[in-house]
Amino acid sequence: MTTTLPGLPAPVPAMPHVAPVPPGNAASLSVWPASARLASRGDVAVGGVSLAEVAERFGTPVYLLDEGEVRERCRTYLRAFPDTDVVYAAKAFLCRALLHWVQEEGLGLDVCSAGELELAVTTGFPPERIVLHGNAKSPDDLSAALRLGVGRIVIDSAWEIARLSALIPADGRQKVLVRVVPGVSAGSHAAIRTGTDDQKFGLSITDGSAQHAIARILDQPRLELVGLHCHIGSQITTVKPYLTALRRVVGLLAQIRLQHGIVLPELDLGGGHAVAHRPGETALDIPSLGARIRRELATSCAAAGIPVPRLTVEPGRALVGPAGVALYRVLAVKRTGDRTFVAVDGGMSDNPRPALYGVRYAPRLIGRRSTAEPCTATVVGRHCEAGDVLAADVAMPGDIRPGDLVAIPVAGAYHLSMASSYNAVGRPPVVAVHDGRARLLVRRESLADINSRDVGL
């Protein structure tokens, strides 16, 4: 059964720089997919599908992914970055249908394990459009990459040079990039900052490790060095750190030409583009990012006297995060002292991000119109620890009660890809919504799935 909701109000624009305020009480939908509409009896429709109906049909917790929103975000990137390879960072969320969407839209793929790679290639994703990352690639990762013919392998440590070379047949050649660290601090949380020397990724430009690795790679006949890679972190809200990193990496390209007499044709600037999780938060403006990066690239290459390399960008969350909505059922409401806890049937097993990075979300009551005064509540999960919080100190209707539905928008990136079956709670299903139709993409993890891994006494 699928649901269409006709006669809905005008769309709110996608990818807001600062979340816009749409007319009337639709204001609180500003970080939702552009297709989100207020519907009757407190319901919200996404992709023309009622959330209450999705909960009814697929159970809760359940994740929705708005196909139209993902596709539109892919197009926004392609428009903002002409003559650029836009590569989807699969770690944000990966499933077969999503692979089809991004491939059809003309994107490449960034993977960081044999598992992600196998899923992509067996779904028909062209291997030559795949980039393999990883600070510690296993022998399986490297041999899968070579066997399946990935387009680029990004070398992340000196150890990897000989190890990868040794796996390539004598008559073979693999295109590689080197991941360099430009010494730029950016990103919303220490755990997702990767542009400085005090973390595990890449090879430092500052201490010369990058230059040393490049010289060694150039000595390996089975490795074809095609460019540099740099990913400075995630949830970055301004363009400036990208421009600083870009100038430093172009400086290294110029140095390589001087020292080795070669011009590297490619430059991959990674991802990390911020999304807004709550109305009023800042998302990185993609058209402006594209224009300023391309302008800076042209200017600094001209100043360094080198040709402009072909650019790659690797967005993850900005493509899928705002396209996802998590839907939960309230199981308990508890008032202790001056605090109200609204406990739902999911939690840190499907969304560890508040616990890991302090991310704040804007949950919303669904499927019932409440006229009660709002109260300040903390939406918590069902798991056995006090840190299992989905949204602390948010406004919820004062009469919120067991049986109610609660939706959390901007749930498409790094929720399910980081989900666990903590407390033997199965991971939720994923449902695509598009043009008034809902279809299951990933089924719910059952107790049988979980228990079947335990092979006995």
Candidates 54, 62, 65, 92: give the one binding ligand LLP (CB under 6 A): 92
- Number of residues forming the site for ligand LLP (CB under 6 A): 23
- Do the beta carbons of residue 280 and residue 51 sit within 8 Å? no
Minimum Å gap between C-beta 355 and ligand LLP is: 11
State the Cα–Cα distance between residues 291 and 239, nearest whole angstrom. Answer: 10
Concatenating the DSSP letter of every residue in 331-396 gives EEEEEETTEEEEEES--TTT--HHHHH------EEESS---SPEEEEEEE-SSSSTT-EEEEEEEE
Q: Which one is catalytic: 95, 112, 301, 384?
A: 384
User: 58 vs 242, which CB is nearer to ligand LLP?
Assistant: 242
Closer Cβ to ligand LLP, 43 or 156, answer by number: 156
> What type of residue is 390?
L
Stretch 11-50: interaction string toward ligand LLP, x if CB under 6 A: ----------------------------------------
CB of 361 to ligand LLP, least distance (A): 12
Nearer Cβ to ligand LLP, position 253 or 413?
413
Cis status of the peptide bond prior to 352, with omega within 30 of 0: no
Task: Quote the least distance from Cβ 314 to ligand LLP, whole Å.
Answer: 4
Window of 165-173, 287-295, 334-342, 412-420 that interacts with ligand LLP by CB under 6 A: 412-420
Name the token pair of 140: 């399986």
Region 177-236 residues binding ligand LLP, contact defined as CB under 6 A: 192, 231, 234-235
Is 428 a binding residue for ligand LLP by CB under 6 A? The answer is no
Closest to ligand LLP by CB, 39 or 153: 153
- What is the footprint of ligand LLP within residues 237-296 (CB under 6 A)? 270-273
And the tokens for 309? 């390399």
* Pick from 260, 259, 205: nearest CA to 230: 205
Among 69, 414, 426, 434, binds ligand LLP (CB under 6 A): 414
Which tokens sit at 423? Answer: 């407390």
384 is known as an active-site residue = yes
First to last CA, the chain: 44
Q: Give the one residue of 37, 73, 133, 329 binding ligand LLP; rule: CB under 6 A.
A: 133
Q: How far is the CB of 133 from ligand LLP (least distance, A)?
A: 5
DSSP code per residue over 37-96: EE-GGG-EEETTEEHHHHHHHH-SSEEEEEHHHHHHHHHHHHHHSTTEEEEEEGGG---H
CB of 232 to ligand LLP, least distance (A): 10
- We find the least distance from the C-beta atom of residue 377 to ligand LLP, in angstroms, to be 24
Give the DSSP H or E segment for 203: strand 203-204
**Nearest-10 crossing angle of helices 96-104, 114-122:** 70
Buried b (16+ CB within 10 A) or exposed e, 216-255: ebeebebbebbbbbbbbbbbbbebebbbbbbbbbbebbbe
Would you say 39 or 359 has its CB closer to ligand LLP?
Answer: 359
- By C-beta, is 133 or 137 nearer to ligand LLP? 133
Q: Which residue number, 289 or 396, has a Cβ lying nearer to ligand LLP?
A: 289
Residue 310: in which H helix or E strand, if any?
A: strand 310-313
317 part of the interface to ligand LLP, by CB under 6 A: yes
d(CA 127, CA 145): 9
Which residues are known catalytic residues? 384
Chain residues that interact with ligand LLP, rule: CB under 6 A: 89, 91-92, 110, 133, 192, 231, 234-235, 270-273, 314-318, 353, 357, 413-414, 418
